[in-house]
Structures are given as C-alpha cells and as structure tokens.
Amino acid sequence: MKLILANKAYSSWSMRPWILLRHFEIPFEDVVIPLDRPETRDAILKYAPSGKCPSLQDGSVSVWESLAIIEHVAEAYPEKPIWPAAKDARGLARSLSAEMHAGFQALRTQCPMNLRRQPKAIPLSAETLADVARIEAAWGDARQRFGGKKSFLFGEFGAADAMFAPVVNRFHVYDIKVAPTTRAYMDAIMDLPAWKAWEKDAFAEPWRIEKYESV
C-alpha cells in the first residue's frame, strides 16, 4: 500500500488513515506532497489520478477520502479490530466517523490544524463552541456505553478514534476548555506511538504555510 499525503503539520485528512495504518502495524509507504506550491497539483496527479489527497494506492485499486480509505483498510485486514466487533458499537462508531467526516465546519474553519502550534486560546464563536459541545457529548456517550475502563471511544483504539485524532490536536493547540474526561481521552490519543511518530515528522517538515501559522 502507498498512502499519498499532504503536509503532516496541517493535513487533518491525511492524519486519519496514516495514524490508523501505523497503529495497526499495517505495512505501507507514505509520500508527502506539500500544499500550496506551484508543483502541488502535478505532484498529486503523478500518484493519484483523482487529484485527491490523501489517496491510497493498493495495487490497481485507488481509494481517496479518509473514511473511504479506512473502510478499504478494514476490508483488506478483517483480522484487525479497526471497527468494533459488536453490531451496536460498530453502528455508533460508523455514525460518529461519518459525522466527523461531514460536519463540524465551524471548528475546522476557526481552528485549522497545525501540529506545531504552541497551545494558546483564541476567542471562539458560538458556532465553534456548539461544535465543541457536540464532540464532547459524542465522545462521552461512546466511552460510557462502549469504552469500559479503557482509554478510547470503544475500548481499544479504532477507526472512530482515528477520525477524531485531528480534533484532539485542535482542542489541544487552541487550549479549548474541556471536561477532565475529555482531556483524559485526548492524553491517551496523544500518548500513542503512532501519534508521536506523526508529530515527529510534522515538526521535521521544512514547509510553512502562513495562513495556518498566523491563526
């Protein structure tokens, strides 16, 4: 498998499938293509005919969009507990992942992902605060119903956690006030070896994009 990514410092979409593949020790190669450069479009098209990033190349199969990539990986490696085994937990995990994929536009817009940002609060709009409240409620509900005494949404780390990993970064670097249980979940995500490996790569990148650095 070859995973085509945008900047690890900024690309929330790229982070999701990467951290999942790395956590489950699934062999893959990654190719990072920096955004907002004259050659970006051509570089992506060299690997991904869709022109979309992230994009996964698996032999003759090309899959793009974070959630579609995660579903493809789950099919390719059914022995890995990427989705919860129980039907009710799996239904909720898929619903939350789809909600993350399609929603929370206010949070995305006001708090763009930047792994390298020093934690500092900014004034948040009512719409962004509503997104934060919904995410905290969703995380709390999943952990209460299916997390047991373990650290992640459905007990062990899985697809839904990967989909929300960039939100963990946003809550952290924008110093958003959250409940202690939310902070504990964030700390568990940020303590994963896969997270630390992504973070190390992000800090090592030489590229800077001002619109993400100035927020």
- Average pLDDT for consecutive 10-residue bins of the chain (215 residues)? 95 97 97 90 85 91 95 97 97 98 96 95 98 98 95 97 98 97 97 98 92 84
Q: Which residue has tokens 């958003």?
A: 176
Q: Within this chain, do residues 132 and 178 fall inside the same structural domain, yes or no?
A: yes
Alpha carbons 99 and 118: distance in angstroms, whole number: 28
Q: Within this chain, do residues 132 and 190 fall inside the same structural domain, yes or no?
A: yes
Which of 66, 24, 32, 73 is CA-nearest to residue 194? 24
What's CA 9's distance to the chain center, in Å? 12
Q: Within this chain, do residues 190 and 101 fall inside the same structural domain, yes or no?
A: yes
How many separate domains does the chain show? Answer: 2
What backbone phi and psi angles, to 5 degrees, belong to 70?
-60, -40
Give the pLDDT score at 142: 97
Q: Is residue 150 part of a domain?
A: yes
Give the pLDDT score at 120: 96
Q: Which of 17, 46, 80 delimits the end of a domain?
A: 80
Give the pLDDT score at 50: 80
Q: From edge to edge, which strands make up the β-sheet containing 55-58? A: 29-32, 2-5, 55-58, 61-64
Q: What is the CATH number of the domain that holds 13?
A: 3.40.30.10
Identify the burial level of 88 via C-beta atoms within 10 angstroms of its C-beta, where 0-12 means exposed, 13-18 middle and 19 or more buried.
exposed
Q: Within this chain, do residues 145 and 116 fall inside the same structural domain, yes or no?
A: yes
Q: Within this chain, do residues 36 and 95 fall inside the same structural domain, yes or no?
A: no
Q: Within this chain, do residues 59 and 97 fall inside the same structural domain, yes or no?
A: no
C-beta of residue 73 within 8 angstroms of C-beta of residue 17: yes
Q: Is residue 35 part of a domain?
A: yes
Q: Within this chain, do residues 129 and 69 fall inside the same structural domain, yes or no?
A: no
Alpha helix stretches (DSSP H) within 54-125: 66-76, 87-102, 105-110
Hey, what are 99's tokens? 């909600």
Domain span including residue 62: 2-80
Q: Is residue 214 part of a domain?
A: no
Alpha carbons 14 and 210: distance in angstroms, whole number: 19
Q: Within this chain, do residues 56 and 97 fall inside the same structural domain, yes or no?
A: no
